[in-house]
A = this chain, B = another copy of it.
Amino acid sequence: MLVAAREFLDGEGFTELVAPVIGPVTDPGARGAKQVDVDYYGHRYKLMTSAILYKQAALAAFDRIFYIAPNVRLEPLETASTNRHLAEFHQIDVEMAGASREAIMQLAERLVGHVVRQVVAQLPGELASLGRDTSMFAELLSQPFGQRSHADAVADLRGQGHDQSPDAEIDWAGEAMLSRKASRPFFVTDYPKGSRGFYDRESRERPGFLRNFDLIAPEGYGELSSGSEREHDYATIVARIRETGENPAKYGWYLQMVREGIPDSAGFGIGLERFTRYVAGLDSVWQASAYPKVPGVALP
């Protein structure tokens, strides 16, 4: 799958960089997961929960970049039973200068399509031995992905008697319900401000809504990817950080860079192990990692 992803992204003019593992600050928008501190020569550094801040920095050198980025998030203990959380995982992490949300969603759709097409064509024996029925990919490979707004997804869930908040991300149970009903991947767009990181750009036309998306796999496999247009205006970023209750001073190097000017961009991260789970039809995401870290479970 990584060979196919690199082949596709290389063909689209993307340059692969290696991502950092630690740094003075990392992505705060990790949905209830705790960041991991490390003592770096007496300074408090963090393990990367995502590479988002560094993707924006990388656009200073290249217009189109990607990482295969390792991330560590101490997910809440209750996620050990969702079958889709690992405390250590990787993202196919893509960022593109000057791109709109629509352009980057289209890129994500084509990337996922290319990888699935290559696996189905090149690894029929492996898929058969895993018991994966490749006819499940027929819709994915023959028509565009679905698309609905967050508000529409919330209304659907509430109509089914599921108490989904209109102000938050879709909860695990709600996501599973939507995913099980679908027969092809679909995007959920326009999350409410406050439900996601400060770097997801707010719509100018519809204040309070973000120019972002999730990509949800069908058959109950749930979220594969999150993405967005990025905020790049210094004053807006500082205000957005303050709105989340964080101190902008934490983001020293990042804000200094933003003040000097960063490009307009959009991007996404695809969870490699979740994507593998979906393609291989695995019961749980831990089966897609050679050294799985199920939240809360430590090895002796």
A interface list, Cβ under 8 A from B: 2-3, 10, 16-24, 36-43, 45, 47, 54, 57-58, 61, 68, 70, 72, 74, 77, 87-88, 90, 252-253, 272, 290-291, 293, 295-300
Asked whether A24 lies within 8 Å of B252 as measured between CB atoms, the reply is: no
A42 to B253, CA, bound (A): 30
- Chain B: CB-nearest residue to A6: B6
A20 to B291, CA, bound (A): 7
Asked whether B24 lies within 8 Å of A70 as measured between CB atoms, the reply is: no
Asked whether A22 lies within 8 Å of B299 as measured between CB atoms, the reply is: no
A300 to B249, CA, bound (A): 9
Asked whether B40 lies within 8 Å of A47 as measured between CB atoms, the reply is: no
Asked whether A38 lies within 8 Å of B36 as measured between CB atoms, the reply is: yes
Asked whether B61 lies within 8 Å of A290 as measured between CB atoms, the reply is: yes
Set of chain B residues within 8 Å of A58, measured between Cβ atoms = 290
Given known pairs A290-B58, A290-B61, A291-B54, the reply for A40 and B74 (CB within 8 Å) is yes
Given known pairs A72-B21, A272-B18, the reply for A87 and B40 (CB within 8 Å) is yes
A20 to B58, CA, bound (A): 23
Asked whether B21 lies within 8 Å of A70 as measured between CB atoms, the reply is: yes
Given known pairs A38-B47, A54-B291, the reply for A88 and B299 (CB within 8 Å) is no
- Can you offer 29 A-B residue contacts whose CB atoms are under 8 A? A2-B16, A3-B10, A3-B16, A17-B290, A18-B70, A18-B90, A18-B272, A18-B290, A19-B70, A21-B70, A21-B72, A22-B88, A23-B291, A37-B38, A38-B38, A38-B72, A41-B74, A41-B77, A41-B298, A42-B298, A45-B298, A47-B47, A54-B290, A54-B291, A57-B290, A58-B290, A252-B300, A253-B299, A253-B300
Q: Name the 3 nearest CB pairs between A and B, nearest first.
A: A43-B298, A252-B300, A20-B291
Set of chain B residues within 8 Å of A295, measured between Cβ atoms = 41
Q: Looking at chain A's contact residues, is the secondary structure mostly helix, strand, loop, or mixed?
A: mixed
Set of chain B residues within 8 Å of A297, measured between Cβ atoms = 41
Set of chain B residues within 8 Å of A18, measured between Cβ atoms = 2, 68, 70, 90, 272, 290
Set of chain B residues within 8 Å of A70, measured between Cβ atoms = 18-21, 70
Set of chain B residues within 8 Å of A41, measured between Cβ atoms = 74, 77, 87, 295-298
A47 to B40, CA, bound (A): 12
A20 to B54, CA, bound (A): 20
A293 to B48, CA, bound (A): 15
Chain B CB within 10 Å — which of A40, A68, A272, A296 has the most?
A40
- Chain B: CB-nearest residue to A75: B41
Least CB distance from A232 to B in Å reads 19
Given known pairs A74-B40, A299-B253, the reply for A21 and B88 (CB within 8 Å) is yes
A272 to B18, CA, bound (A): 10
